[in-house]
Structure 1
Amino acid sequence: MDISEKQAIVAECRASGMTAKAWCEAKGIEYRQYVVWATKVNREEHHAPQQWANVTMKKDEHIPDEIRLTCGKWTICVVSGFNPILLADLLRVVDEVC
């Protein structure tokens, strides 16, 4: 299957309004294979090299021990005692969406 066919499948899934897993199940496509295709399509679409973001540290006197990660319209607040696995999962999702 060439990249244009993979792009068409990924575009159809995204336009369906369904979750990728539910769409794959309805279409008889193995979800893991779809994830491989979607990852390849995402890399092709975002072929620009990754860059470091500017980081500004600010101390908020009202909320101690909090870190805020802001990128465009997204802000993720992390407080002391956070679940690092949950944060890693969240960042992966945000990275795919942005």
Structure 2
Amino acid sequence: MGGIHLTKAELEELRELWRARVADFRASGLTGAAWCAAHQVKEHQLWYWVGKFKADTNHSGRQRDHAEPRFIPVRVEKSAPEVTDKPLSVRVGPAVIEVTPGYDTELLRDVVRTLASLC
């Protein structure tokens, strides 16, 4: 069966070229088709080398071509509580109290206690 025969050095050079390409593809976030179109590479070649490197593991079982996980800082801002103009209905027995924003907490507490003792 005929084919192209590469020297050991040429094969290693080809592997390193594709190792860099696969790493670039993985870091790009693009689909295989999009990355291949942008780099003028046949998609089947990319997937061949992705599969080849996936099977190429070191003795500890970790894949050598995978980069270590990267973390990016995320800034989380506390959002202000949603303010609504709608009153809150509080039921105490048969009584209903409508509480609006800015209510007096002590007055509400006293009213609820009084109603609870009566109902």
TM-score by length of 1: 0.43
- Structure showing greater radius of gyration is 2
TM-score by length of 2: 0.36
Query: Larger relative contact order (C-alpha < 8 A, sep ≥ 6)?
Result: 1
